[in-house]
A and B are shown apart, each in its own frame.
Chain A
Amino acid sequence: MTMTFSPQKTTVSDNYDIPSHSFDAGKKFKMVAENVTIRYGDVIGVQNITMKFPEKSVTALIGPSGCGKTTFLRCLNRMHDMTKSAKVEGKVMIDGIDLYDKSIDPIYHRRKVGMVFQKPNPFPTMSIYDNVVSGLKLNGVRDKKILDEIVEDSLKMAYLWDEVKNNLKKSAIELSGGQQQRLCIARALAIQPEVLLMDEPASALDPIATQKIEETITELKKEYTIIIVTHNMQQAVRVSDYTGFMYLGDLIEFSETRKLFTDPKNELTLKYVQGQFG
């Protein structure tokens, strides 16, 4: 057996304990972020993050407020295109295609990558039904039967169906905050994404709804790749297979959830998961 050494500089930073060969073994990665740095003018939001998101699994991003986890999540969907001052460097690959390739418009990817925001943002002038089908109509789906079917399926997945099935024509703003958030999840699911980004989706929900959403996440990962930002460590333990811990714009540690919480390699991670700061 011959050993070959790659001449390329490793993308894995020496300082951080990012999983090496053993982590990659036998996994298919849906999304890969390579050396991602995001700047707002002179301020650095996140710095040189390399992360691989295994297919059909849930990856959680945890860390104290302001550590850049939301900033990083938004770059996976090119949401920073709207923030004029934000600049993203590095590569984000989805199925081997670079999201930041100048020749490809972000709307090709956004169909594959659904997103749920921290604050519920349904379209206030539309009905519940229209909210869910808004993305489908953009994609040219007009068949009423199919639309009805997808609406029912998406609302069921978001655990909203039972509450609204009798008045789908009701305006979306008449729903409660928790219901609105589940409507937003349904709206994101309706475009049948392959990756689902969730930015603290449960922060506006009551415990019962939160539990239902977590069940949904567990159910969805059979088919979807889910990346979830959460400030709630218990939630990360409950729903995720992999967890990345971020601090001040750096990815400190990334490994299997169980491993990260029980046997962290980094002292900072240990302190954080033990609740010494946050």
Chain B
Amino acid sequence: MTTNERRQEYRTLFKQNVKNRLLVDKVVRIVVFSCVIIALIPLCSILVEVFKNGISAMSYEFLTTVPGAVGSGEGGIGPAIQGTLIIIGLSSLIGIPIGVMSGIYLSEYGDNKLARSVRFFNDVFMEFPSIVLGIFAFLVIVLVLGHFSVWAGAFALSLIMFPIVARTTEESLKMVPITYREAGTALGLKKWVITFRIVITAAKSGMITGILLSVSRIGGETAPLIMTILGSSQFFRSMDVPMDALPLNIYKLSQLPYESAQLQGWGSALVLIIIILGINLSVRYYFANKTINGVLGKLIKQGVLNKK
């Protein structure tokens, strides 16, 4: 075994490099922190510009009337707001039931080869470029019917929606302890009753989060709407004619060379961002709070926290 003298020698070999290493460390810390700042600059700039420019376009008339002549700067975005709400509603009507049932399948019957491949393809499908889904809706609905259709737009958006709902539903249902299902079985309940009355009730908040996040995602989608609902300057008349939506409206306005059109574009963007960030933030806020309350409540129940 090496002698202690030898070990003392080893120590002298160590480079006195601590100062340099701490300097490198400091530089890395600064770089890493500036990464965060760099990422937040665009966020702040976008929010500030949208609010600053959007506010000046805002008026009751702007929100409720149809657009005026191109470049005149008159009129509003009433049809676009209405269209966005309609398309979100219709997509949810298609996307949520499929997503929820698919999530139930993955969670309750999801322990076999088929389900594993469903889960995998579900994840891959979630990343399909949205414009490809738009083309798909165009091919199977618009081309078949022979005209642009609100249904085609809703179908395309529901394709974006349902995989997100399915996976969040699955994860939420899996959080429900198996004992709850066992308790239901012990009471002689059938599986579908247990699933709908016990498991889903229990997993509600997680599922709602997933649904709302998927709504905020499709609310801003533009590409698949170009070839399905096309855009329009009229209020909704029928399912079989083109319709407008906020993202489409922003895209169209941004392509116009008039300053007044760009101002209206900012106004549109403000309405859209309020809807989407509103959903997003309130979900996160609501969810975060519930989590904390849930944990505190649980601890109080268990007697860990009894001072309150």
Contacts and interface: CB of A to CB of B under 8 A. Distances in A.
B7 A223 contact: yes
B2 interface: yes
Nearest to A194: B11
A131 to B, nearest CB: 18
B13 A143 contact: yes
A156 B1 contact: yes
Given A153-B2, A156-B1, A107 B15 contact: no
Contacts of A153: 1-2, 6-7
Interface in B1-33: 1-2, 4, 6-7, 10-11, 13-15, 17-18, 21-22
24 contacts: A105-B18, A105-B22, A107-B18, A107-B22, A108-B18, A136-B14, A138-B21, A139-B15, A139-B17, A140-B14, A140-B15, A149-B2, A150-B10, A153-B1, A153-B6, A153-B7, A156-B1, A157-B1, A192-B7, A192-B11, A219-B1, A222-B4, A223-B4, A223-B7
Interface string A113-130: 000000000000000000
Given A149-B2, A153-B2, A141 B7 contact: no
B7 to A, nearest CB: 5
B17 to A, nearest CB: 5
The 3 closest A-B pairs by CB, nearest first: A140-B15, A139-B14, A153-B2
A141 B15 contact: yes
A141 B18 contact: no
Nearest to B20: A140
A111 interface: yes
Interface of B: 1-2, 4, 6-7, 10-11, 13-15, 17-18, 21-22
A141 B21 contact: no
Contacts of B21: 107, 138
Nearest to A138: B21
Nearest to B10: A192
A1 interface: no
Given A105-B22, A107-B21, A141 B14 contact: yes
Contacts of A139: 14-15, 17
A146 interface: yes
Interface string A222-240: 1100000000000000000
Interface of A: 105, 107-108, 111, 136, 138-141, 143, 146, 149-150, 153, 156-157, 192, 219, 222-223
A149 B7 CA distance: 11
Contacts of A219: 1
B22 to A, nearest CB: 6
A141 B13 contact: yes
Nearest to B12: A192
Contacts of B1: 153, 156-157, 219
A63 to B, nearest CB: 24
Nearest to A139: B14
Contacts of B15: 139-141
Contacts of A223: 4, 7
Contacts of B7: 153, 192, 223
Task: Kindly name the residue among B1, B4, B7, B15 whose own CB sees the greatest number of chain A CB atoms within 10 A.
Answer: B7
A139 B15 CA distance: 6
Contacts of B4: 222-223
B21 to A, nearest CB: 7
A127 B15 CA distance: 24
A107 B21 CA distance: 10
Contacts of A141: 10, 13-15
